Each structure stands twice: as C-alpha cells, then as structure tokens.
C-alpha cells in the first residue's frame, strides 16, 4: 500500500478497493464482502441517499439489525458530507 494519508474511512475503502479489490473487507453471518463490493455498495447507497435529499449539513438516522448495511449507510453519509446517528427501536 502507498504512504498517502487516509483522510476518512470512506477514502480508505476506496483506496483499498483500487489496490486489492478482491480482498475481504467485511464478513457478516459467514458472508464475505470484498472491498470492490463494499465500494460499489457505498456508491449505490450514496446515490440513493442523495436522490432522497441527503447531503452536507443533513442528518440520517440509521437503525439496522445487520452490521454491513449500517456500515454502507455510514460510509455513504461520509461521502456525501452528511452526519449520521445510530438509532434503536424502543423496547
């Protein structure tokens, strides 16, 4: 890997995707997700959230039982310059 500084986790994912796209980034419930898949999902989510009006100085509440979709949403918020907050349903 190069010595260029990483400014955000999303930048790191995109860098690792360029350098090792097939390397495993996340494993959840026995399902491996490569850096290429993670980067593709982040871009898709960012497009969807942007289309729904999310952008800089906006806030997204994230509630999800699975780690991977939450990770994708968090990194997509980062790409868009939006903030995010973890939410949980009342018990």
CATH number assigned to the domain comprising residue 45? 3.40.50.980
Query: Is 44 inside a domain boundary?
Result: yes
What mean pLDDT value characterizes the chain? 88
Domain that holds residue 64: 9-86
Query: Is 2 inside a domain boundary?
Result: no
Residue 82: both structure tokens together: 């939006």
Query: Is 65 inside a domain boundary?
Result: yes
Query: For the chain, what is the domain count?
Result: 1
Residue-level pLDDT at 26 = 94
Model confidence pLDDT, tens digit, residues 41-61? 999 999 999 999 999 989 888
Query: Is 82 inside a domain boundary?
Result: yes
User: Where does the pLDDT of residue 1 fall: very low under 50, low under 70, confident under 90, or very high at 90 and above?
Assistant: very low
Closest CA to 72 of 45, 33, 36, 35: 45
Task: Report the b/e string of 48-81 with b at 16+ CB within 10 A.
Answer: ebeeeebeeebebeeeeeeebeebbbbbbbbbbe
């Amino acid at each position: 890997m190069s010595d260029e500084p990483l400014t955000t986790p999303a930048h790191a994912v995109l860098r690792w995707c360029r350098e090792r796209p097939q390397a495993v980034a996340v494993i959840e419930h026995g399902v491996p997700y490569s850096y290429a898949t993670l980067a593709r999902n982040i871009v898709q989510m960012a497009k969807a959230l942007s289309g729904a009006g999310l952008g800089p100085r906006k806030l997204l509440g994230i509630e999800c039982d699975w780690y991977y979709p939450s990770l994708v949403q968090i990194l997509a918020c980062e790409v868009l310059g939006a903030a995010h907050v973890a939410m949980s349903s009342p018990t």
